[in-house]
């Protein structure tokens, strides 16, 4: 995959990833203790949906736009909160408009939820996107932007002094060995900080590679979310988010949210959740 995110901002994959991210952050921040957040592949920070890049694919129209146009009656709370975060960011660019103007990437969503006591490091290796990310957060002392390999950051920054962390790994999957790199980074992270919460986005194109990656996480406490959409053979049609050490009530929120997402993203969309092993009613984070 050649994945400059500006082409795909607000698509079905963002919907799944950012729905999960917002709910994870909310649940982790509900505990009155400091939290460290690491975004290993942060991208540009936010995306202009009117840009040439976004217009070329129009993927937001089949993703976030459909959810924003859906009736609010019966909408699950986690979806409501996610859409509110997206709309709140867009309102910074003017009064509410007929169509969404800017879509917040994961760094913007994280920044909107984190508390004054939390710490956030956003890594991006691509020079142009790293520059855009620095500009996005210029003057914001709550966000540390690093032009760096996010995989190396997992090794360098864990365990955090806060002893509580959410690590988002959302690589571009441009390399043929990306799943191997991802699995290796998780091994390093879990060896250093076994009680951290790790959220991993991955595309579903090579079923064997996905199965091998998931098998490597066997025995861990996980919640896996998947979303499949009907597309032609040239586009990504399925993706997943694997959450390791999910906080209490995350699975419950996703069980409610995913069927609604499936119903409102259009015909032929399917979603599923797999928890392994069955989650216990206790926080996953270290005290």
Tens digits of residue pLDDT in 78-109: 999 999 999 999 999 888 777 899 999 999 99
Q: Determine the Cα–Cα distance for residues 287 and 101; give it in Å rounded to an integer.
A: 41
Work out the pLDDT band at 1, boundaries 50, 70, 90: very low
pLDDT over 70 percentage in the chain: 93
> Whose structure tokens read 């500009």?
135
- Given a cut of 60, whether residue 287 has pLDDT beyond it is no
Identity of the highest mean pLDDT range in 6-20, 220-234, 245-259? 245-259
The pLDDT of residue 280 is 46
The pLDDT of residue 96 is 75
Report, as an integer, the average pLDDT of 24-51.
Answer: 94
CATH superfamily of 5-276: Vaccinia Virus protein VP39 (3.40.50.150)
- Given a cut of 80, whether residue 57 has pLDDT beyond it is no
Structure tokens at 267: 């015909």
> Whose structure tokens read 């921040």?
29
- Lowest average pLDDT, out of 1-15, 47-61, 186-200, 246-260, goes to 1-15
The pLDDT of residue 4 is 59
Q: What is the helix (H) or strand (E) element at residue 52, kind and residue range?
A: helix 52-57
Rg, the chain, Cα only = 18
Of 109 and 232, the structure prediction assigns the larger pLDDT to 109
- Given a cut of 80, whether residue 54 has pLDDT beyond it is no
The pLDDT of residue 186 is 97
Specify whether 129 is catalytic: no
- Strands lying side by side in the sheet with 238-244: 143-146, 119-123, 36-39, 165-169, 197-203, 238-244, 222-228, 270-276
The pLDDT of residue 2 is 42
Mean pLDDT for all residues in the chain: 92
> Whose structure tokens read 């988002």?
168
- Say if CB 114 and CB 120 are below 8 A apart: yes
Helix, strand, or coil (residue 107)? helix
pLDDT in tens, 243-269: 999 999 999 999 999 999 999 999 999
The pLDDT of residue 18 is 98
Q: Determine the Cα–Cα distance for residues 264 and 202; give it in Å rounded to an integer.
A: 22
Instruction: Tell me what percent of the chain is helix, strand and coil, each rounded to the nearest 5.
Output: 40, 20, 40
Catalytic hit among 32, 129, 170, 232 = 170
pLDDT in tens, 129-164: 999 999 999 999 999 999 999 999 999 999 999 999
Residue ranges in 159-206 assigned as alpha helix (H): 178-192
- Given a cut of 50, whether residue 226 has pLDDT beyond it is yes
- Say if CB 49 and CB 102 are below 8 A apart: yes
- Given a cut of 70, whether residue 283 has pLDDT beyond it is no
Work out the pLDDT band at 6, boundaries 50, 70, 90: low
Integer CA distances (angstroms), 117 to 41, 142, 252, 278, in order: 23, 9, 27, 32
């Amino acid at each position: 995959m050649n994945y400059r995110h500006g082409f795909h901002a607000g698509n079905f994959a963002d919907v799944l990833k950012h729905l999960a991210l917002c709910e994870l952050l909310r649940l982790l921040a509900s505990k009155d203790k400091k939290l460290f957040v690491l975004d290993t592949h942060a991208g540009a920070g936010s995306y202009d949906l009117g840009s040439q890049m976004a217009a070329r694919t129009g993927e937001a129209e089949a993703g976030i736009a459909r959810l924003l146009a859906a009736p609010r009656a019966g909408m699950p709370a986690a979806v409501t909160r996610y859409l509110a975060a997206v709309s709140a960011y867009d309102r910074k660019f003017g009064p509410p408009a007929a169509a969404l103007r800017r879509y917040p990437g994961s760094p913007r969503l994280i920044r909107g939820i984190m508390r004054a006591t939390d710490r956030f490091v956003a890594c991006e290796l691509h020079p142009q996107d790293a520059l855009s990310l620095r500009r996005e957060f210029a003057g914001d002392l709550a966000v540390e932007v690093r032009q760096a390999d996010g995989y190396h950051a997992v090794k360098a920054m864990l365990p955090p002094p806060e002893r509580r962390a959410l690590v988002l790994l959302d690589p571009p999957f441009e390399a043929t060995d990306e799943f191997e790199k991802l699995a290796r980074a998780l091994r390093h992270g879990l060896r250093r900080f076994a009680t951290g919460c790790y959220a991993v986005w991955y595309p579903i194109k090579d079923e064997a590679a996905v199965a091998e990656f998931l098998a490597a996480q066997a025995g861990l406490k996980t919640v896996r979310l998947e979303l499949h959409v009907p597309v032609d053979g040239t586009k990504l049609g399925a993706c997943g988010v694997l959450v390791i050490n999910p906080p209490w009530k995350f699975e419950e929120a996703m069980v409610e949210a995913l069927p609604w997402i499936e119903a409102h993203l259009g015909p032929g969309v399917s979603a599923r959740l797999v928890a392994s092993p069955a989650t216990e009613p206790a926080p996953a984070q270290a005290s």
